């Protein structure tokens, strides 16, 4: 029976805005509640992880998981520009201490999509000023909490903005060419819960946001939106600056960034498409991450290309509730490709499945972990796996209907119900597979 090494991290991941609740100083709170919002519903109390983190971390540890990836919320730490909230930094100190008390390794993301609403008024993620603002926030957090944090992911899915821009462009092109009112939904083409089918109402929505942020609607640039090439460079400069700040304060902290990656596959004639996708999603970032300590891989499915571009799954293809192909083999494919270009440690910082049937999740986990083990046996330096996600939660524009969690939550009472998949994942290191 195959078993992972004792020091291999197996854990679960969350993002602050998706689980904590009442993140009232964030840009997402504004976007969820503005009239005409493209969000299915507001986050509200989410799953109250802000108050129930002790219960959740204990449940994770009791199941046998040894790591927890979570994010510190910038909008809580710095609710207004240059003003840091001491109570909030102490809150995250308690979360980190709780992890250590339960023998759980914390892997901390300093930015997971949500930003302070004041940052958007200052130009957001298309403005050079964000490099300094993000660095100041990182400096404060690490100066206060650095001794408790062994791993930091500076920015979650640094490549997401370009992925969204590409898919929106493809979607709008289909809209222009089709004689139907709507082409095939684009929502399954991106590994995050956004609703790309609302692009036709984008201008009206952003005009409302511009009024709230006090800027022209064309200058509203939250993180989770189509990004320009210049914005892409700004995000990576934010990462580089954050890494310098963190290392200057505590060189022992391992620093990396995470990226959304598909297992791109080609049938004959599709090779050039795959090459282009890998360059845009991963390879062009290599100069910016060469001094990182690890790389965070986030993968959920594959995409197949032929001579005419992307090939949509057939009607008989097994799909997840998020609209992705059920394909647990994709993670191993991504790890093998990344390892050709990246010779340092890799952490799988997200991988999971949206399904209301937990037996599907168990099957997915077992398939994924078997492929992951094979990659390690081949010599690929994977040091951890973080399943997405610990708790059924707020999946951004798509609200609460997506079920990615290892733990179900009754949001009327906030009662937690661990699923079989939590026990299966937590047992893999002990009993093998």
In the predicted model, what is the mean pLDDT of residues 1-12? 91
173 has a pLDDT exceeding 70: no
pLDDT at 168: 82
The whole-angstrom separation of Cα 138 and Cα 37 is: 31
pLDDT at 200: 58
E strands in 324-414: 346-350, 382-388, 407-410
| Domain annotation covers residue 264 | no
What is the domain extent for residue 23?
9-259+349-359+382-417
| Domain annotation covers residue 243 | yes
Contacts of 418 (CB under 8 A, 6+ apart): 59, 63, 406, 407, 408
Q: Which of 115-124, 176-185, 264-273, 300-309 has the lowest mean pLDDT?
A: 176-185
Residue with tokens 């819960």: 193
Write the pLDDT tens digit of every residue in 36-56: 898 999 999 999 999 999 999
Q: What's the number of domains the chain is made of?
A: 1
> Can you read off the two tokens belonging to residue 210?
């511009």
Q: Under a CB-based contact definition with an 8 Å cutoff, are residues 182 and 174 in contact? A: no
146 has a pLDDT exceeding 50: yes
Mean pLDDT of the chain: 94
The whole-angstrom separation of Cα 16 and Cα 203 is: 28
Return the percentage of the chain with pLDDT > 70, whole number.
Answer: 93
pLDDT at 196: 63
> Can you read off the two tokens belonging to residue 223?
């993180």
pLDDT at 199: 55
| Domain annotation covers residue 192 | yes
* Angle (nearest 5°) at CA 239 between 233 and 244: 125
* Angle (nearest 5°) at CA 257 between 256 and 262: 130
| Domain annotation covers residue 340 | no
CATH code of 115's domain: 3.20.20.80
CA-to-CA dists, residue 213 to 34, 322, 430, angstroms: 11, 31, 51
Write the pLDDT tens digit of every residue in 315-345: 999 999 999 999 999 999 999 999 999 999 9
In the predicted model, what is the mean pLDDT of residues 144-154? 98
pLDDT at 3: 86
pLDDT at 310: 94
Q: Under a CB-based contact definition with an 8 Å cutoff, are residues 414 and 36 in contact? A: no
| Domain annotation covers residue 224 | yes
Write the pLDDT tens digit of every residue in 293-318: 999 999 999 999 999 999 999 999 99
> Can you read off the two tokens belonging to residue 91?
């809150």
| Domain annotation covers residue 68 | yes
Query: What DSSP character marks residue 254?
Result: E
> Can you read off the two tokens belonging to residue 140?
């404060």
The whole-angstrom separation of Cα 119 and Cα 127 is: 10
| Domain annotation covers residue 310 | no
Strands, sheet with 263-266, edge to edge from the N-terminal-most edge strand: 263-266, 302-306, 309-311
Residue 270, helix vs strand vs coil: coil
In the predicted model, what is the mean pLDDT of residues 51-66? 98
The whole-angstrom separation of Cα 324 and Cα 275 is: 21
pLDDT at 432: 74
In the predicted model, what is the mean pLDDT of residues 62-91? 98
Contacts of 101 (CB under 8 A, 6+ apart): none
Is 195 buried (19+), middle (13-18) or exposed (0-12) by CB count in 10 A? middle
Residue 291, helix vs strand vs coil: coil
Local confidence band at 270 (pLDDT 50, 70, 90 cut-offs): very high
What does residue 362 show for φ and ψ, rounded to 5 degrees?
A: -60, -45
> Can you read off the two tokens belonging to residue 365?
């986990």
In the predicted model, what is the mean pLDDT of residues 216-234? 96
pLDDT at 188: 58
72 has a pLDDT exceeding 90: yes
198 has a pLDDT exceeding 90: no
E strands in 313-397: 346-350, 382-388
The whole-angstrom separation of Cα 152 and Cα 244 is: 12
> Can you read off the two tokens belonging to residue 294?
């690890």
Local confidence band at 9 (pLDDT 50, 70, 90 cut-offs): very high
pLDDT at 169: 80
HEC readout, 256-267? EEEEECCEEEEC
First to last CA, the chain: 6
pLDDT at 184: 47
Integer Rg of the chain from CA: 20
| Domain annotation covers residue 124 | yes
Contacts of 370 (CB under 8 A, 6+ apart): 2, 433
pLDDT at 181: 46
């Amino acid at each position: 029976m195959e078993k992972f090494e004792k020091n291999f991290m197996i854990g679960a991941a969350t993002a602050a805005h998706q689980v904590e609740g009442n993140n009232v100083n964030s840009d997402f709170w504004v976007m969820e509640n503005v009239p005409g919002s493209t969000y299915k519903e507001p986050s509200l109390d989410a799953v109250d992880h802000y108050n129930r983190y002790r219960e959740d971390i204990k449940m994770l540890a009791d199941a046998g998981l040894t790591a927890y990836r979570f994010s510190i919320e910038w909008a809580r730490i710095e609710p207004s520009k240059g003003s840091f909230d001491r109570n909030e930094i102490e809150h995250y100190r308690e979360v980190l201490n709780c992890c250590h008390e339960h023998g759980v390794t914390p892997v901390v993301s300093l930015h997971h999509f949500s930003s302070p609403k004041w940052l958007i008024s200052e130009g957001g993620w298309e403005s050079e000023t964000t490099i300094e603002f993000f660095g100041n926030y990182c400096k404060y957090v690490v100066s206060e909490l650095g001794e408790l944090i062994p791993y930091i992911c500076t920015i979650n899915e640094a490549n997401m903005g370009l992925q969204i821009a590409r898919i929106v462009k493809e979607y709008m092109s289909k809209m222009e060419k089709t004689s139907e009112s709507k082409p095939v939904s684009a929502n399954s083409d991106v590994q995050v819960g956004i609703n790309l089918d609302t692009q036709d109402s984008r201008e009206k929505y952003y005009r409302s946001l511009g009024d709230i942020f006090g800027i022209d609607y064309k200058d509203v640039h939250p993180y989770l939106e189509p990004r320009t090439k210049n914005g892409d460079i700004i995000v990576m400069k934010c990462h580089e600056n954050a890494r310098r700040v963190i290392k200057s304060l505590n060189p022992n902290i391992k620093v990396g960034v995470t990226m959304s990656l598909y297992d791109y596959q080609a049938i004959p004639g599709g090779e050039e498409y795959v090459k282009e996708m890998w360059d845009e999603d991963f390879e062009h970032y290599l100069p910016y991450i060469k001094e990182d300590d690890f790389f965070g891989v986030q993968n959920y499915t594959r995409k197949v290309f032929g001579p005419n571009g992307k090939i949509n799954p057939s009607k008989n293809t097994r799909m997840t509730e998020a609209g992705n192909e059920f394909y647990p083999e994709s993670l191993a494919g991504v790890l093998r490709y990344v390892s050709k270009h990246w010779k340092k440690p890799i952490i799988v910082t997200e991988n999971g499945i949206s399904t209301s049937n937990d037996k599907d999740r168990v099957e997915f986990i077992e398939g994924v972990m078997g492929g992951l083990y094979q990659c390690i046996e081949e010599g690929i330096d994977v040091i951890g796996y973080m399943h997405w996600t610990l708790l059924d939660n707020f999946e951004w524009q798509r609200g609460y209907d997506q079920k990615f969690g290892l733990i179900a939550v009754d949001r009327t009472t906030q009662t937690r119900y661990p699923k079989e998949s939590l026990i299966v994942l937590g047992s893999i290191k002990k009993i093998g597979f």
